[in-house]
């Protein structure tokens, strides 16, 4: 997944991040543990990422998950992101580009901005997004909140943290202390031991990528594949032990965001072994092509010949031993765009001058903005019905994206293949009335 060191540029960085994860592989063609979930979960998972930085420029607040109707339709909210320090520990603080404790638990919300309609007070130990997530869970008891660790920019120190048994134990313990036990650093009246206890229901690992290149400063080693497997098991072991130690024992979930490129999978993921410990994984289902490329192309096709696609990604994970019920398909709430497109026709597969202008970052636009372009009449909506993807083209600028019609097709595919559900990056890209999440929710229904 994604995280830029500059909040308002986060989305541009994340688009390019997944291109980097795909490019090297462009020509590449067990019994469950006692803690594993039931083989027949009652409902498809609907996992949405909430971005820490979205509360600023985008002004997308936790309360919007309530007012849009999204919270009622989601099973999981993944909070993006938590960081890993040079010492191999989970940490937070107010460090530009590295951590934002103010957004997490310091920022007070007034009554109008709060899920429960009550203003935060100066003396309460937990405010910000964490407190709003706690209020959201109180209103929607079915909802689980996961802390997602890493992302594109914050995977820098994963390899070091996973390198030895001692470093893995210390890393995992630090993450449980900070997020599950809720022992936050004291900042004025905020934080303290147990301040965030009960906010998070599990951990989502977003290491991009074990065993292969990620962001420019992200360390990777050949032994990452072995170490990642051991790290996942260490998380499962400590999560289970902590859950059993509580007065009311409970299970904490463990998930991960995983790549589409076969070379990336093989370099870093011992699929049969890690899937024993994961409750589910979310598959990269977008950024198959991005606006930094010289030709327009699909970014999230369901099917494609001799190219990346959702179907190819699912097939590659199944072939390597992943259970279908633990595979959750990633779906984009944004589009990739090019401008200066030449060659005529419908614009797809044609040369382009560069990324298209957009609201937050060139070449990347939220669905809610693309919907307005489609409704304006200035663009024509084109569809590849077999491939299961759509794009907008006005003769010069092209945007490839998923609209409700595409997402309904993908939801039907999830049902037909017996997969685990759908994941969305990211929730702030949807319309104010949750048009995209509603389409997927209706398409998935229940098992």
Q: Is the pLDDT of residue 14 over 50?
A: no
Q: Is the pLDDT of residue 24 over 80?
A: no
Q: Are 36 and 276 in contact (CB under 8 A)?
A: yes
Q: Identify the pLDDT of residue 8.
A: 34
- Establish if 354 belongs to a structural domain: no
Q: How far is CA 87 from CA 83, 146, 153, 369, 420, in A?
A: 11, 23, 17, 41, 35
**Per the residue annotation, which of 208, 234, 365, 435 is the catalytic one?**
208
Q: Identify the pLDDT of residue 160.
A: 98
Q: Is the pLDDT of residue 68 over 80?
A: yes
Q: Is the pLDDT of residue 34 over 80?
A: no
pTM: 0.92
Coil, helix or strand at residue 90: strand
75-96 pLDDT per residue, tens: 999 999 999 999 999 999 999 9
Q: Identify the pLDDT of residue 26.
A: 33
317-376 pLDDT per residue, tens: 999 999 999 999 999 999 999 999 999 999 999 999 999 999 999 999 999 999 999 999
Q: Is the pLDDT of residue 17 over 50?
A: no
Q: If you compute the radius of gyration of the chain from its CA atoms, what whole number of angstroms results? A: 21
Give the span between the Cα atoms of 54 and 224, in whole angstroms.
32
Confidence of residue 25 (pLDDT cuts 50, 70, 90): very low
- Establish if 17 belongs to a structural domain: yes
Cα 265 from chain centre: 17
CATH, residue 210: 3.20.20.80
Q: Is the pLDDT of residue 13 over 70?
A: no
- What domain count does the chain have? 1
Cα angle 265, 270, 275; round to 5: 100
- Establish if 91 belongs to a structural domain: yes
What is residue 247's DSSP assignment?
A: S
Give the span between the Cα atoms of 192 and 166, in whole angstroms.
26
Give the span between the Cα atoms of 364 and 247, in whole angstroms.
47
- Establish if 286 belongs to a structural domain: yes
Residue percentage of the chain with pLDDT more than 90: 90
- Establish if 190 belongs to a structural domain: yes
Give one word for 324, left, alpha or beta, with left for phi > 0 and alpha for psi -120 to 50. Answer: alpha
Specify the residue for token string 């099973």: 75
Is 365 among the residues known to form the active site?
no
Q: Identify the pLDDT of residue 446.
A: 77
Q: Is the pLDDT of residue 16 over 60?
A: no
Give the span between the Cα atoms of 321 and 10, in whole angstroms.
33
Tell whether omega for the bond before 241 is within 30 degrees of 0, i.e. cis. Answer: no
Q: Identify the pLDDT of residue 385.
A: 95
Domain extent, residue 286, equals 7-25+41-333+403-444
49-62 pLDDT per residue, tens: 999 999 999 999 99
Pairing of strands 364-366, 334-339: antiparallel
Question: What's the whole-number mean pLDDT along residues 138-163?
Answer: 98
Cα 159 from chain centre: 20
- Establish if 439 belongs to a structural domain: yes
- Establish if 221 belongs to a structural domain: yes
- Establish if 179 belongs to a structural domain: yes
Q: Is the pLDDT of residue 112 over 50?
A: yes
């Amino acid at each position: 997944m994604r995280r830029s060191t500059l909040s308002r540029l986060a989305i541009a960085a994340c688009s390019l991040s997944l291109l980097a994860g795909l490019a090297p592989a462009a020509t590449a063609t067990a019994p469950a543990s006692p803690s594993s979930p039931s083989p027949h979960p009652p409902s498809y998972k609907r996992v949405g990422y909430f971005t820490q930085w979205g509360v600023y420029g985008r002004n997308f607040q936790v309360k919007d998950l309530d007012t849009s109707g999204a919270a009622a339709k989601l099973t999981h909210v993944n909070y993006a992101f938590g960081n890993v320090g040079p010492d191999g520990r989970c940490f937070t603080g107010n460090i530009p580009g590295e951590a934002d404790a103010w957004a997490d638990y310091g920022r007070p919300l007034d009554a109008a901005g709060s899920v429960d309609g009550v203003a935060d007070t100066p003396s309460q130990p937990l405010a910000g997004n964490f407190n709003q997530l706690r209020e959201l869970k109180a209103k929607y008891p079915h909802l689980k909140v996961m802390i997602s660790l890493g992302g594109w920019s914050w995977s820098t120190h994963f390899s070091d943290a996973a390198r030895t048994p001692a470093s893995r134990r210390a890393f995992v313990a630090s993450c449980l202390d900070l997020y599950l036990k809720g022992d936050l650093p004291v900042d004025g009246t905020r934080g303290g031991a147990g301040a965030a206890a009960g906010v998070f229901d599990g951990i989502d690992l977003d290491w991009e990528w074990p065993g292969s290149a990620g962001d420019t400063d992200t360390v990777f080693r050949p032994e990452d594949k072995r170490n990642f497997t051991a790290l996942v098991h260490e998380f499962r072991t400590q999560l289970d032990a902590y859950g059993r130690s509580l007065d009311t024992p409970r299970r904490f979930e463990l998930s991960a965001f995983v790549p589409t490129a076969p070379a990336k999978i093989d370099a870093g993921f011992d699929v049969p072994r890690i899937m024993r410990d994961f409750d589910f994984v979310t598959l990269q289902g977008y950024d198959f092509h991005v606006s930094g490329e010289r030709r327009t192309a699909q970014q999230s096709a369901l099917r494609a010949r001799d190219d990346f696609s959702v179907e190819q990604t699912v097939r590659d994970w199944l072939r390597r031993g992943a259970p279908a019920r633990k595979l959750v398909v990633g779906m984009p709430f944004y589009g990739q765009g090019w401008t200066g497109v030449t060659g005529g026709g419908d614009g797809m597969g044609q040369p382009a001058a560069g990324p298209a202008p957009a609201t937050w970052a060139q070449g990347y636009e939220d669905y809610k903005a693309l919907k307005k372009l489609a409704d304006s009449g200035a663009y024509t909506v084109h569809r590849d019905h077999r491939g299961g993807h759509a794009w907008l083209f006005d003769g010069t600028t092209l945007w490839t994206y998923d609209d409700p019609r595409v997402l309904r097709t993908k939801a039907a595919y999830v049902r037909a293949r017996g997969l685990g559900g759908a994941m969305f990056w990211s929730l702030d890209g949807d319309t104010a009335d949750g048009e995209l999440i509603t389409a997927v929710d209706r398409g998935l229904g229940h098992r």
